Structure 1
Amino acid sequence: MIIKIAETNKEINDAFYIRKTVFVKEQHVPLSIEMDDYDNEAIHFIGYLNDVPILAGRLRFVNDYGKLERICVLKEHRGKSFGKHVIQKMESTVKRHGYDKAVLNAQEHAIDFYKKLGYHVISKSFIDAGIPHVTMEKHIA
């Protein structure tokens, strides 16, 4: 498994492909919501297994924290710790940019996954793209 910051057009397009597969096709999020203007300013992450893209995420810096967004792993590769590894890569990038806090909006079914990685809930439940979410944060040492 190689997880990296997407730098080439191919890598960025691979990240978009993963996001469209998971969020648009699988979870029925409208494409107009999934792909937004923040994609132009974000740092995109892509993960490859045997040169095949299997996971993606994006990172933006907002106020005093890194905002982890659009984290997804193809269905057939879930449950193998790949999600944990992309989160760690994103957190190290947050730290490298001088921030010590990461924030994300987690789908409610993923709350326990993020809790195991040190995140805690800081909001009430809300609906985003038709899916229940909560905001979670973590202070990065």
Structure 2
Amino acid sequence: MEVKVSSTNDPSYKDALFVRKQVFVKEQNVSEQEEIDAHEDRSAHFVLYDHGKPIGAGRLRPIESGGKIERVCILASHRKQGLGELLMNKMEEEAKQSKYPSVTLYAQVHAEDFYKKLGYTTTSTEPFLDAGIWHVAMQKALN
């Protein structure tokens, strides 16, 4: 397993989009217009590869309070294998290198416990809709 970090100018960015479209657009019915947004160019993009095949993706972008982790996904065929944690560790490592004091994310409600196991705290008082899917806001301080 290998995680590559790229920008929108790198060839691996297309691999990130491939995974994101499989999970969010095809599987979860998020519109492509919502999935590919105005923050693409300002973000660091992460692609998880299994023997050269893209199987996971995510992005990290700067926000006022630190960094925001977004678009975290693993192909259905590779879930429940600890790969989400591998991807998140790489994204947090990059956030620390960028000197972000904390990272924020909006977790789909079904994934809230996954993020809690990684040290995230739920900061929203109740779930909210984002792209037609229920989410909670979460945050983690980085040391």
- What TM bracket, shorter-length normalisation? over 0.9
Unaligned runs of 5+ in 1: none
Superposition CA RMSD, Å? 1.0
Q: Measure the CA separation in 1 of the matches of 2:104 and 2:10.
A: 27
**1:29 partner SS:** coil
Contact 2:42 2:61 in 1 (8 A): yes
Higher helix residue share: 1
Distance in 2 between residues matched to 1:10 and 1:77, nearest whole Å: 22
Contact 2:42 / 2:62 at 8 angstroms: preserved in 1?
no
Residue 107 of structure 1 is matched in structure 2 by: 108
The percent of aligned pairs where both chains have the same amino acid is 44
Q: Which residue of 1 aligns with 2:128?
A: 126
* 1:32-83 per-position Cα deviation (integer Å, ceiling 9, x unaligned): 1000110111110001000100000000010121100000000010011110
- Equivalent residue number for residue 3 of structure 1: 3
- Distance in 2 (CA, whole Å) between partners of 1:56 and 1:6 is 11
Distance apart, 1:4 and its partner CA: 1.6
Secondary structure, in 3 states, of the residue corresponding to 2:39?
Answer: helix
User: Aligned equivalents of 1:100 and 1:62: distance in 2?
Assistant: 11
Distance 2:99 2:72 in 1: 22
CA distance in 2, matches of 1:11, 1:22: 17
Give a deviation string over 1:109-140, Cα, whole Å, max 9, x none: 00000000000100021000110000000111
Greater shift after overlay, 46-55 or 8-17?
Answer: 8-17
Unaligned stretches of 5+ in structure 2?
A: none
Aligned pair count? 141
Q: Which residue of 2 aligns with 1:28?
A: 29
TM-score norm. by structure 2 comes to 0.95
| Partner Cα separation in structure 2 for residue 73 and residue 28 of structure 1 | 16
- Using the size of structure 1 for normalisation, the TM-score is 0.97
